[in-house]
A = this chain, B = another copy of it.
Amino acid sequence: MSSDHLSNTFAALADPTRRAILARLASGEATVTQLAEPFKMSLPGISKHLKVLQGAGLIVQGREAQWRPCRLNAAPLKEIADWTERYRRNWEQRFDRLDDYLRVLQKKEKKRGRKKK
């Protein structure tokens, strides 16, 4: 996967309407009219968003002239998930540091308890 492809995917996801369209398509295909409904958006408005999602390979649109259902293609989302994985160590380290700190506090508490006896 080229770097630009990843940039395209991230850019396509940087919009709440486009993410809502993906969430809708995650449960099954839908026509452009069906997708436009919950957003109270014009068809050309929705079409622009669909074009961006299509450009990033996140949706595929059927070719039948009248009934052109859109379908989610989740493969680029897996690529995003795989990309974030390399930073897992970084966000987990934060929790590890908090863990260490709690352990130190518990030891101190134990020592104090023993001294009292």
Contacts and interface: CB of A to CB of B under 8 A. Distances in A.
Given A91-B77, A91-B78, A14 B3 contact: no
A39 to B, nearest CB: 13
Instruction: Choose among A6, A8, A74 the residue with the greatest number of B CB atoms under 10 Å from its CB.
Output: A74
Q: Is the interface of A mostly helix, strand, loop or mixed?
A: helix
How extensive is the interface on chain A, given as a class?
20 to 34
Interface in A1-43: 3-4, 6-8, 10-11, 13-16, 19, 22-23, 26
Interface of A: 3-4, 6-8, 10-11, 13-16, 19, 22-23, 26, 72, 74-75, 77-78, 80-81, 84-91, 94
